[in-house]
Amino acid sequence: MRRFRTVAAGVAALAAAATLAPSQAHAAGNVYVYKIHYDSPGSDRGGNSSLNAEYVQIKNTTGAKFQMQGYTVRDAAGHTYTFPSYRISPGKTVKVHTGKGTKSPGHLYMGRGWYVWNNDKDTATLRKPGGSFRDSCAYNSTRVDYKMC
């Protein structure tokens, strides 16, 4: 019986560690998908303010400004946004809004005329300028309108 408890405790500890691993990987020294706000308030009629309430947010937890130029973020259907010259300061985020707007600190715009992020499930994938994988975040829910990654 004692051996079973020890094994069970070890399995529980591993399960807890696996549960914490993604947030720990994002805790420091990384640039990653931080949040997806996939269902803007109200009905989806395609107005620019509604489109801009839909966004993916990227966070910089490195100790230096991070140049995003050439990075891409895309959904599962292949809708892709390529970052212009833009630096994220340490500890800061940038929201990439679906609609149209003018680049400003903390805000970039895809310039699209219709929604990108599905209201039930999708995946945001961040890739480096050469196309290699950097990070991703998936959601599968209609109970809330955003996902913290």
- Per-residue confidence (pLDDT) for residue 27, from 0 to 100: 58
- The domains found in the chain, sorted by start residue, are 28-148 (2.60.40.1260)
Residue 94 token pair? 């940038």
* CA dist., res. 117 & res. 38, Å (int): 5
- Per-residue confidence (pLDDT) for residue 98, from 0 to 100: 98
Q: What is the pLDDT of residues 82-138, one digit of tens each?
A: 999 999 999 999 999 999 999 999 999 999 999 999 999 999 999 999 999 999 999
Q: Which residues fall within 8 angstroms of residue 22, CB to CB, at 6 or more apart?
A: 149
* CA dist., res. 61 & res. 30, Å (int): 5
Q: What is the pLDDT of residues 7-54, one digit of tens each?
A: 344 433 333 333 333 444 565 689 999 999 999 998 889 999 999 999
